[in-house]
Amino acid sequence: MTSNDPPFTPVPERVAVVTGGSRGIGRTVALELARNGLAVVVNYTRDAASAEETVETITAAGGRAIPVPADVADEHAVAALFDRAEQEFGGVDVVVNSAGRLALSSIADLDLAVLDDVHRTNIRGTFVVARQAARRLRAGGSFLGVSTSVVGAQFPGYGAYAASKAAVESITLILARELRGRDITVNTIAPGPTATDMFLDGKTPEEIDRLAKTPPLERLGTPEDIARVAAFLTGPAGHWVNGQILRVNGGMV
């Protein structure tokens, strides 16, 4: 730098709320955002120990993070979650709604109580979190929903889950348009088969191998694959992408 060069302008700290941030994709997204310099509110529902571990990993590396419990379908708890983010860090710039519930069943055998639970978390939870994000995100901010590539792939047994995530996709462009003039982006990522505990649970090695060979890249995705895309879409480099569904799946449908 010479004496004629303008001084660097300090970049204000950005703040992220990551729901479902204690495990799986949500945890890895929280770590990636922290690595990119964001303060992170790690939301969880029941697994306090995993949320604390995520926060400790971030703070040990010099980042800032706090764990905050909230059921994403409970509007009062989610409002309190955003209150805590504002009280602790001064505002909210990024919201990644990673909290979700998976249930596998044929439609003929589907337990309707399970259907209600899945839709409560995946549909109502998305609306509750998106509502707070729409009210509180600062200019330059981003909301990122999480869907699934099964919405396009249409695998048997995923009817309840795919239907709930199709709802997430359907509101993406609507919310982006409703936030016109606020300099806030709204996008949704739709991961393919990804090696998380939720995905691997209950599947045989043969089933996992078959699903791993579905994409042309012939492997399962990793949480890191998904987190890097989430960081791009919610960061300055991805701010011209808006109202889009991005299938992060190695080349599946």
Sheet containing strand 245-248, edge to edge, reads 65-69, 39-44, 15-19, 92-97, 137-146, 185-191, 245-248
DSSP-assigned states of every residue in the chain: --TTSPPPPPPPPPEEEEETTTSHHHHHHHHHHHHTT-EEEEEESS-HHHHHHHHHHHHHTT--EEEEE--TT-HHHHHHHHHHHHHHHS-EEEEEE-------B-TTT--HHHHHHHHIIIIIHHHHHHHHHHHHEEEEEEEEEE--THHHH--TTBHHHHHHHHHHHHTHHHHHHHTTTS--EEEEEEE-SB-SHHHHTT--HHHHHHHHTSSTT-S-B-HHHHHHHHHHHHSGGGTT--S-EEEESSS--
Of the candidates 151, 149, 141, which has an alpha carbon nearest to the alpha carbon of residue 96? 141
CA distance 84 to 86: 5
Catalytic center residues: 161
